[in-house]
């Protein structure tokens, strides 16, 4: 599904990705974790050629992206969705229009656009907010819009760059639930960059650990499930009481 072969990338003189080879199979939820500056986001952006590699080959869905013309690359990118830590929504467009833009850019048949937009917003649980602007939404709702936008063109792969890092733990859990659903229900292969081990352990079945621009290891894992935190006031009081008991001990 995704194959990187000896991919390297430098910014100025600094080699950020050093001859990395990685294969991700169809249907995986693949995590990429590592310390800050390890090269996780750059590696993810190399998968859809948002960053062009200096060397090496990138193949997605059986197509060598590194061999394509810019027109062919635009077409190939329809099957690769992406979401970001800060959502990257268009502030002057409504929820509906944010999703519509992605279909317009892809020349999706005009007559079918409305149904497709509603379908995607329904999938992420936002059908009732189509007329709102991003500023009127919570962080979790903004990320859901970004997910709907990424899903609109029926991608085979969804790249997620720190998708929950701006969200509180409960909202993170909800977004992870949406991503898990996309993988299970729609069969989309997911690659998720995160510096949070809890996030990676919750839904990933294979994980690449990066260090200094290289792959330190890739391991198969059993997802432990998404941890929803109790939001009730009694839970907070209980936790504070426990902390007090530990201080007394
Ligand atoms: N466009 C760029 N121009 C110059 N340097 C860059 C650029 N993008 C990334 N870098 C540098 O490349 C290195 C790897 O960055 P990258 O964002 O891939 O790491 P990361 O593992 O995702 O880190 P973090 O978790 O902090 O986001 C860093 O030293 C970063 O400063």
Number of domains in the chain: 1
34 CB less than 6 Å from ligand 1?
yes
Candidate from 10, 18, 36, 39 with most ligand 1 atoms within 8 A of CB, to mutate? 39
Take atom 16 of ligand 1 and give the residue whose Cα is closest: 39
> Is ligand 1 within 6 A of the CB of residue 148?
no
pLDDT over 70 at 114, yes or no: yes
- Work out the pLDDT band at 113, boundaries 50, 70, 90: very high
Compute the average pLDDT of residues 207-215: 98
Residue 23, pLDDT > 90, answer: yes
The arithmetic mean of pLDDT across residues 185-189, rounded, is 97
* pLDDT at position 176: 96
The ligand 1 atom at the shortest distance from the C-alpha of residue 210 is: 21
What are φ and ψ of residue 171, in 5° steps? -70, -35
Cα–Cα distance for residue pair 101/99, rounded to 1 Å: 5
- Would you state the pLDDT for residue 246? 73
Summarised one tens digit per residue, pLDDT across range 56-112 is 999 999 999 999 999 999 999 999 999 999 999 999 999 999 999 999 999 999 999
Q: What are phi and psi of 23, to 5 degrees?
A: -120, 130
The confidence score (pLDDT) of residue 240 equals 87
Instruction: Read off the pLDDT band of 170 (50, 70, 90).
Output: confident
**Average pLDDT value for residue range 176-204:** 96
Here the CATH number for the domain that contains residue 183 is 3.40.50.300
Which two structure tokens, joined as six digits, stand for 240? 């504070």
Using DSSP, state whether 52 is helix, strand or coil.
coil
**Is 27 a residue whose pLDDT tops 90?**
yes
Find the mean pLDDT for residues 1-10: 97
Residue nearest ligand 1's atom 2 by CA: 11
Size of the chain in residues: 249
Per-residue pLDDT at 21 exceeds 80: yes
pLDDT at 244 exceeding the cut of 80: no
> Is the CB of 42 within 6 Å of ligand 1?
yes
pTM for the full predicted model = 0.93
**Across 112-125, average pLDDT:** 96
**Ligand 1 midpoint to CA 187 (Å):** 30
CA of 149 to the centre of ligand 1 (A): 25
User: Which residue's CA lies nearest to atom 28 of ligand 1?
Assistant: 37
What is the percent of the chain where pLDDT is above 70?
99
pLDDT band at 38 (very low <50, low <70, confident <90, very high): very high
Sign of CA dihedral 170, 162, 190, 136: positive
Domain ranges, residue 231: 2-248
Average model confidence (pLDDT) across the chain: 94
pLDDT band for position 249 (cuts 50, 70, 90) = low
Ramachandran angles phi, psi of 109, nearest 5°: -50, 125
Better pLDDT: 170 or 97: 97
């Amino acid at each position: 599904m995704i194959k990187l072969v000896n991919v390297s990338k430098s910014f100025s003189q600094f080699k950020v990705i050093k001859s990395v080879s990685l294969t991700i199979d169809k249907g995986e939820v693949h995590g990429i974790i590592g310390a800050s500056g390890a090269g996780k986001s750059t590696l993810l952006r190399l998968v859809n050629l948002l960053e062009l590699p200096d060397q090496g080959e990138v193949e997605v869905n059986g197509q060598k992206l590194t061999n394509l013309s810019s027109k062919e690359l635009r077409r190939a990118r329809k099957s690769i969705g992406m979401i970001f830590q800060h959502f990257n929504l268009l502030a002057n467009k409504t929820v509906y229009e944010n999703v519509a833009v992605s279909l317009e850019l892809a020349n999706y048949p005009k007559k079918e656009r409305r149904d497709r937009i509603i379908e995607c917003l329904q999938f992420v649980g936002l059908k009732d907010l189509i007329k709102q602007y991003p500023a009127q939404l919570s962080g979790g709702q903004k990320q859901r819009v970004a997910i709907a936008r990424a899903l609109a063109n029926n991608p085979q792969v969804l790249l997620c760059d720190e998708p929950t890092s701006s969200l509180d733990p409960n909202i993170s859990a909800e977004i992870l639930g949406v991503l898990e659903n996309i993988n299970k229900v729609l069969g989309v292969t997911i690659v998720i960059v995160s510096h949070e081990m809890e996030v990676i352990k919750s839904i990933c079945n294979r994980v690449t650990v990066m260090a200094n621009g290289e792959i330190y290891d890739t391991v198969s894992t059993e997802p432990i499930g998404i941890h929803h935190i109790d939001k009730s006031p009694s839970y907070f009081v209980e936790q504070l009481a426990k902390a007090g008991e530990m201080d007394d001990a």
